[in-house]
Amino acid sequence: MALQPAAGARDLNPREVESNRWLCEQLAQVYRLWGYAEVAPPAVERLETLAAGGGINQLELVRLAAAEPLGLRPEMTASIARAACTRLAARPRPLRLWSSGVVFRCASGDGGQHRLEERLQSGVELLGAAGPGSSAGDVELLALLLACLQQLKIAAAQRPRLLLGHHGLLSALLDQVPDRQRTATRKALTSFDPVALGRLQLPGYQGQALQQLMRLRGEPEQVLYQLEQQLGPSPVLNELAATIKVIAPLARRHGIALQLDPSFQPHYDLYDGLVLQLVCQGADAPVAIASGGRYDALVGRFGGEPGGMGFSFEVGAIRELLGTEVTAPHRPDTTLVSFQEPSQLEAALAALQEFHQRGERAELLHQPCATKSGAEAVAIQRGCNATRWLGPTP
């Protein structure tokens, strides 16, 4: 019999589970304050929905053996967008929803074998907000993200940095490239691969401009200025500038660095507007703890009104970033109820019930304990703060 979990899966100990639950509840408190309602999308969906119109690589989907093409969700945006456009279609817009749950992804290991990635996510979706040309929805999403960081107490020690990009910027830059080379150019830019870009043999001025673009990232106002010099005035730049004007002071107040990166795109190709990723400095390397963006086209595929955006937190990554002992309160005081003689078991159960009726945590020691000091030693070993021992006091 196998003694280890499946490759890529892992067992969580009680402290890790408590920390995950606490982190999810901290985020949920912020979501609720902002008017978001909880939904629970199914873990199993049709593959057509999970692929999100080609935005998610089919090779990353965990497929199920079933009479119809089904799989496990790799993220929750597509499922929530589907529900918003069908069962929740009559609800007034904008529709504010949040969810938390496990997502699954199929990945290749170092040896080429397939492995399962299991992650706990918590995030929001804002559907039916104003479409392109209005920055209100983007501003709300980013401000909510910053409020969540404040709730989680992500501080300067973690060096938080919010990366911003825009699908429209990348498209505008690729419009200058011959059609036959756009796919390869896009891959080189989003992968930050100057060698691959150099191999494309683009005309001299284009190749040089794109090499400079690949390194163009940093303080948003400076990057926007340089982009305007290269692209000229554009609605996308105006929209980004309006969003950043509102968000930049909030980010500074929370000690979060803003970075605009024209070639940045998240892992999933779901987005067609603003894109974001929140990165913190871990013990050994930078850690991405949240990502998201605008996905108007995805909503359109389900027949919904234009406007869809959201983000999700990687809860396990936050727990490891902050440290398990920090991310959740310590276990509440617990009393160990024990007894000296087997005949006292009934009395011990009654004592246990008294604690529970008062709302106090207590657990039962099954074996008789000859002395109170022995019971106290067992209580310490089990992490209990007090002992109720039924027996004569020496």
Euclidean distance between CA atoms 154 and 146, whole angstroms: 10
Which domains, ranges and CATH numbers included, belong to the chain?
14-327 (3.30.930.10), 334-390 (3.40.50.800)
Listed in sequence order, the residues at least 6 apart from 163 whose beta carbon sits closer than 8 Å to its beta carbon are: 259, 261, 264, 276, 277, 278, 279
Residue spans of alpha helices (H) in 69-200:
77-85, 136-152, 167-174, 182-190, 194-199
Euclidean distance between CA atoms 167 and 343, whole angstroms: 73
Nearest to 97 by CA among 81, 73, 86: 81
The helix/strand/coil state of 273 is coil
* Residue 114 parent element (H or E): strand 114-127
Model pLDDT for residues 41-66, shown as the tens digit of each residue:
999 999 999 988 778 888 889 999 88
Are the C-beta atoms of residues 165 and 217 closer than 8 Å to each other?
no
The CA-based diameter of the chain, rounded to the nearest angstrom, is 93
pTM of the model: 0.89
> Can you give the pLDDT at residue 91?
94
Are the C-beta atoms of residues 53 and 66 closer than 8 Å to each other?
no
Nearest to 99 by CA among 87, 89, 85, 84: 84
Record the tokens describing residue 85, joined without a space: 């456009």
Euclidean distance between CA atoms 362 and 380, whole angstroms: 14
> Can you give the pLDDT at residue 233?
87
> Can you give the pLDDT at residue 23?
95
Q: Which strands sit side by side in the sheet containing 386-390, from one edge to the other?
A: 361-364, 334-339, 386-390
Listed in sequence order, the residues at least 6 apart from 326 whose beta carbon sits closer than 8 Å to its beta carbon are: none
Supply the DSSP string of 34-68, one letter for each residue. Answer: TT-EE----SEEEHHHHTGGGTS-GGGSEEE-SSS
Supply the DSSP string of 177-232, one letter for each residue. Answer: S-GGGHHHHHHHHHTT-HHHHHHT---HHHHHHHHHHHT--BSHHHHHHHHHHHH-
Record the tokens describing residue 82, joined without a space: 């589907």
Q: Residue ranges of the chain with pLDDT lower than 50?
A: none
**Which amino acid is present at 31?**
Y
* 212-216 own/partner pairs: CB under 8 Å, 24+ apart: 213/173, 213/189, 213/262, 213/263, 214/188, 214/189, 214/263, 216/261, 216/262, 216/263
Euclidean distance between CA atoms 223 and 259, whole angstroms: 9
Are the C-beta atoms of residues 234 and 176 closer than 8 Å to each other?
no
The helix/strand/coil state of 23 is helix
